[in-house]
Amino acid sequence: MTVRNLTVLGSTGSIGRATLEVISKHPRRFVIRALAAFSNVDLLVEQYHAFRPQYLCLVDREKSLELKNRLRDEPVEILAGETDLVRLASLDGVDMVVNAVVGAAGMLASLETVRKGRALALANKESLVCGGPLFAPLMKTTGAKILPVDSEHSAIWQALACGRENEIRRIIITGSGGPFRRLPLDKFDEITVEQALSHPTWKMGPKITIDSATLVNKGLEVIEAAILFSMPLEKIRVVIHPQSIVHSMVEFIDSSVIAQMSRPDMRLPITYALFWPERIESDFGTLDLGRLAELTFEEPDFKKFRALPIAFDVARIGGTAPAAYNAANEIAVGAFLEGGLKFSQITEIIEKVLSDFNVVSEPNLDDILSADKNARQRARKLVEKLPCC
Ligand SMILES: NC(=O)c1ccc[n+]([C@@H]2O[C@H](COP(=O)([O-])OP(=O)(O)OC[C@H]3O[C@@H](n4cnc5c(N)ncnc54)[C@H](OP(=O)(O)O)[C@@H]3O)[C@@H](O)[C@H]2O)c1
């Protein structure tokens, strides 16, 4: 029986908490060496007592002082800031890093994990979206594996096992379509934060929930899939599947389509990544096919959800374009959640930022970081200028 030493980054978020729940059911299979989050002191203290890691890190420095104070009598090292978050990805003796940080803030830790040749269980899709051009050569040199946690990519990964590389015709990424699939475009300006945060099938953190409503999330997943599976964009298709039961599919050259299905529960792809290459019994509920009324599929509406075709475009352009797409979206989503932007303006900001963005086609890390910074600055200015609600 292998025991895995783990670091969990973003442990206080939706995926981080689900990961620790899975781990708590298998205490003899995992040792938690480090946990990290942004500022949630209370939950990190709770997680410390449950898992007794050697290291804790909060990126927010003031909060990390508070954490230090709360755990002053405990045998734990408290780290702080972005550099320490990255350090946790390269601790000696860690076999696997689960990256469940939200946003581009997770990219450097993912790069460090791969640089060290460790297994990376990746929920933080923004890592691959922004740092795509840097990951492939690093993985070749170090032999590090990226194990997808995103349900769609986990499904594709599982379905790909049914054939050889030269037998793949295309991958088909499914998406629920979000809460506004049937809402006419002229009503998009009236969408409230509360409505956008109410996803029909998944319970997730706020940023990815808004991304799912704009279909930016599907766009990020297309870019993620292209990099993760070295798949040309012509071989990637998106279909809307409102029930979120088929998590994605692979079509092979004989026209067979292999789908992976389960209840929409992130604990399943998390378990698959944590235990891979083993499959283990899970008690998260089976799929009762007899009770499912229907499984439906439809084309995405590219006119209503422009963020999706834009993602295909930026993926085609490559270089620093996906990092700019992501950064503009992060700023726009933040502004929308704070009530400073209309829902429809999220995609508008992305389009405007990209419209005169200088793309570096073969970027190094500095190019990617400055593309991220520049796109954020430009998006912030646009948010200030746009007439809002
Ligand atoms: N939720 C899902 O079902 C789901 C499914 C597929 C993929 N994903 C992906 O998984 C990632 C996490 O999503 P989520 O829904 O779990 O997000 P979430 O609930 O918002 O949690 C985000 C986590 O990241 C931490 N964090 C935030 N800003 C940070 C920063 N600047 N530096 C370091 N840590 C930071 C948060 O810490 P605090 O709590 O202290 O703020 C929290 O632990 C995203 O990339 C998302 O796209 C999520």
- Could you read off the pLDDT tens digit of each residue along the chain, which spans 389 residues? 789 999 999 999 999 999 999 999 999 999 999 999 999 999 999 999 999 999 999 999 999 999 999 999 999 999 999 999 999 999 999 999 999 999 999 999 999 999 999 999 999 999 999 999 999 899 889 989 999 999 999 999 999 999 999 999 999 999 999 999 999 999 999 999 999 999 888 889 999 999 999 999 999 999 999 999 999 999 999 999 999 999 999 999 999 999 999 999 999 999 999 999 999 999 888 899 888 889 999 999 999 999 999 999 999 999 999 999 999 999 999 999 999 999 999 999 999 999 999 999 999 999 999 999 999 999 999 999 987 76
Looking at residue 163, what DSSP letter applies? S
Q: Say how far residue 220 (Cα) sits from the centre of its chain.
A: 8
- Find out whether the beta carbon of 196 lies less than 6 Å from any atom of ligand 1: no
- For residues 100 and 77, is the Cβ–Cβ distance under 8 A? no
Specify the pLDDT at position 203: 85
CA distance 304 to 186: 9
- Find out whether the beta carbon of 102 lies less than 6 Å from any atom of ligand 1: yes
Neighbour tally for 74: CB within 10 Å: 14
- Find out whether the beta carbon of 157 lies less than 6 Å from any atom of ligand 1: no
Beta strands in 107-167 (DSSP E): 119-122, 146-148
Written out in words, the top-level CATH class of the domain with range 4-148 is: alpha beta
Question: What is the tens place of the pLDDT at every residue in 338-362?
Answer: 999 999 999 999 999 999 999 999 9
- How many whole angstroms from 220 Cα to the centroid of ligand 1? 15
Q: Say how far residue 140 (Cα) sits from the centre of its chain.
A: 22
Q: What are phi and psi of 136, to 5 degrees?
A: -60, -50
Q: What are phi and psi of 78, to 5 degrees?
A: -100, 125
Buried b or exposed e, range 27-39, using 16+ CB within 10 angstroms:
eebbbbbbbbbbe
Got the DSSP string for 172-237?
Answer: EEEE---TTTTS-GGGGGG--HHHHT--SS----HHHHHHHHHTHHHHHHHHHHHHHTT--GGGEE
Q: Which of 8, 9, 14 to mutate to test the pocket of ligand 1 (most atoms within 8 A of CB)?
A: 14
- How many whole angstroms from 147 Cα to the centroid of ligand 1? 17
- Find out whether the beta carbon of 85 lies less than 6 Å from any atom of ligand 1: yes
Nearest protein CA to atom 3 of ligand 1, as residue = 204
Answer CATH for 153-262+294-385 from 1.10.1740.10, 1.10.3720.10, 1.25.40.420, 3.20.20.450? 1.10.1740.10
For the chain, give every domain's residue range: 4-148, 153-262+294-385
Specify the pLDDT at position 389: 66
> pTM (2 decimals)?
0.97
- Find out whether the beta carbon of 12 lies less than 6 Å from any atom of ligand 1: yes
- Find out whether the beta carbon of 154 lies less than 6 Å from any atom of ligand 1: no
Specify the pLDDT at position 140: 86
Question: Omega before 277 cis (within 30°)?
Answer: yes
Token pair listed for 156: 């594709």
Specify the pLDDT at position 139: 87
- Find out whether the beta carbon of 208 lies less than 6 Å from any atom of ligand 1: yes
Q: Which of 232, 226, 229, 268 is nearest to 247 (CA)?
A: 268
